Structure 1
Amino acid sequence: MIQVHVSGQVLDDARDRQHTGEAAPTPDEVRRISKRLRAGIAHLPDKEYTEQLRKRLREFAAEQDMELPTPDTRSAFWSYRLEDHPTVDVEAGEQLQSMHVAAAYTEAQNSIVEDTLRYLEGTPGGKALGELHLWDANVQRALKLDRDTGTALAYDAWGALSQRYAATTETEALFFMAELNPGAVAYQTEAPQLRRDGKLDIIDFMYPPPMGKYADLAPETQELLASRAVRAQVHTFGYDENDPKYTPLTKAGHLDLEHLKSLPTPEAQRAAVLEVCARVAAMDGPARAADVEKYVEEIKVLRPDHEVALPNSTDLAWAHEARAQATPVVSTHGAFLPGVEVNARTGPQQIQPPEPSASAIAGAHFLPGVTLKPVPAPAAQVPSTATTSQAPPAPEQVRGPTLAE
Structure 2
Amino acid sequence: MSTQPIPQDIEILAVRLANDEAKRAAVARSVKGRREIVQRLRTEAAAQGLPVKEYIEALTKDPKGVTPPHDTAPTSAFWSYGIEHPDAPTNRWNQNFLDNRYIAEAWAALQNDRQEGSARTLETTEGGRRLNAMHLWEPEVLTALGGADKGFTEDWTRECWATISETYATEAKGPVAIFAQYADTRSILYKRELPTLQTNTDVGLDNIHFAYEAPQTWPKETRTEVGTDSARAQLQFNDPTLAHYVDPETYPNQDPTARKAVLDSEFASVTAERNERAAGKKAEQSAAKTAEAGLTEPAEPAKETKETEQTEKAEKAEQTAQTAQTAQTANEAKPINEAKPTNEAKPQPTVEAKEQGNPKPSAAVPLWQLGFTPKPVAVEAGSSGPAAASTAPPAPDLQKQSTGPGL
| Short-chain TM bin | 0.5 to 0.7
Corresponding residue for residue 158 of structure 1: 161
Secondary structure (helix, strand or coil) at the match of 2:157 reads helix
Corresponding residue for residue 209 of structure 2: 204
Take 1:128 and 1:204, find their aligned partners in 2: how far apart are those partners?
27
Take 1:239 and 1:154, find their aligned partners in 2: how far apart are those partners?
28
Contact conserved, 2:104 with 2:121, CA < 8 A, in 1? Answer: yes
Contact conserved, 1:54 with 1:157, CA < 8 A, in 2? Answer: no
1:39-118 mapped onto 2 (5 Å cutoff): 55-63=54-62, 64-69=64-69, 70-82=71-83, 95-118=97-120
Query: What is the deviation of 1:138?
Result: 1.4
CA-atom RMSD in angstroms: 3.5
Take 1:270 and 1:102, find their aligned partners in 2: how far apart are those partners?
33
Greater share of helix residues, 1 or 2? 2
Q: Does 1:31 align with 2:35?
A: yes
Corresponding residue for residue 312 of structure 2: none
Corresponding residue for residue 339 of structure 1: none
Contact conserved, 2:66 with 2:167, CA < 8 A, in 1? Answer: yes
Letter in 2 for 1:111: D
Q: How many residues align?
A: 274
Secondary structure (helix, strand or coil) at the match of 1:135 reads coil
Q: 2:260 aligns with which of 267, 270, 273?
A: 270
Corresponding residue for residue 395 of structure 1: 405
Q: TM-score, normalised on structure 2?
A: 0.58
Is the alpha carbon distance of 1:277 and 1:53 closer, same or farther for their aligned partners in structure 2, counting shifts above 3 Å? Answer: farther
Take 2:256 and 2:75, find their aligned partners in 1: how far apart are those partners?
36
Take 2:262 and 2:206, find their aligned partners in 1: how far apart are those partners?
21
Query: What is the deviation of 1:60?
Result: 1.9
Deviations 1:38-75 (A, max 9, x none): 79x9xxxxxxxxxx876543212123521113442111
Is the alpha carbon distance of 1:131 and 1:161 closer, same or farther for their aligned partners in structure 2, counting shifts above 3 Å? Answer: same
Is the alpha carbon distance of 1:280 and 1:3 closer, same or farther for their aligned partners in structure 2, counting shifts above 3 Å? Answer: farther
Q: Does 1:252 align with 2:230?
A: no
Deviations 1:279-301 (A, max 9, x none): 22122024xxxxxxxxxxxxxxx
1:283-302 mapped onto 2 (5 Å cutoff): 283-286=273-276
Take 1:75 and 1:324, find their aligned partners in 2: how far apart are those partners?
26
Deviations 1:130-184 (A, max 9, x none): 1222111211111232499621111111111111111111122011111111111
Contact conserved, 1:182 with 1:237, CA < 8 A, in 2? Answer: yes
Unpaired runs of at least 5, structure 1: 42-51, 85-89, 241-250, 287-315, 329-382, 398-405
Take 1:197 and 1:105, find their aligned partners in 2: how far apart are those partners?
24
Contact conserved, 2:79 with 2:406, CA < 8 A, in 1? Answer: no
Task: Answer 1 or 2: higher relative contact order, Cα 8 Å, separation at least 6.
Answer: 2
Contact conserved, 1:178 with 1:207, CA < 8 A, in 2? Answer: yes
Letter in 1 for 2:271: A
Query: What is the deviation of 1:270?
Result: 1.1
Is the alpha carbon distance of 1:33 and 1:4 closer, same or farther for their aligned partners in structure 2, counting shifts above 3 Å? Answer: farther
Query: What is the deviation of 1:261?
Result: 4.4
Larger radius of gyration: 2
Contact conserved, 1:155 with 1:396, CA < 8 A, in 2? Answer: no
Of stretches 172-181 and 29-38 in structure 1, the one that deviates more from structure 2 is 29-38
Take 1:72 and 1:130, find their aligned partners in 2: how far apart are those partners?
23
Of stretches 272-281 and 168-177 in structure 1, the one that deviates more from structure 2 is 272-281
Corresponding residue for residue 176 of structure 1: 179
Q: 1:126 aligns with which of 120, 125, 128?
A: 128
Take 1:4 and 1:72, find their aligned partners in 2: how far apart are those partners?
27
1:320-331 mapped onto 2 (5 Å cutoff): none
Q: 1:191 aligns with which of 191, 194, 209?
A: 194
Query: What is the deviation of 1:254?
Result: 2.2
Contact conserved, 1:10 with 1:105, CA < 8 A, in 2? Answer: yes
Is the alpha carbon distance of 1:387 and 1:226 closer, same or farther for their aligned partners in structure 2, counting shifts above 3 Å? Answer: closer
Is the alpha carbon distance of 1:144 and 1:28 closer, same or farther for their aligned partners in structure 2, counting shifts above 3 Å? Answer: same
Corresponding residue for residue 12 of structure 1: 12
Letter in 2 for 1:12: I
Query: What is the deviation of 1:187?
Result: 1.0
Unpaired runs of at least 5, structure 2: 46-50, 89-94, 288-396
Letter in 2 for 1:16: R
Take 2:74 and 2:398, find their aligned partners in 1: how far apart are those partners?
34
Letter in 1 for 2:159: D
Query: What is the deviation of 1:116?
Result: 1.0
Is the alpha carbon distance of 1:203 and 1:111 closer, same or farther for their aligned partners in structure 2, counting shifts above 3 Å? Answer: same
Take 2:230 and 2:124, find their aligned partners in 1: how far apart are those partners?
27
Percent identity between the aligned chains? 23
Take 1:214 and 1:54, find their aligned partners in 2: how far apart are those partners?
48
Letter in 2 for 1:271: A
Secondary structure (helix, strand or coil) at the match of 1:77 reads strand
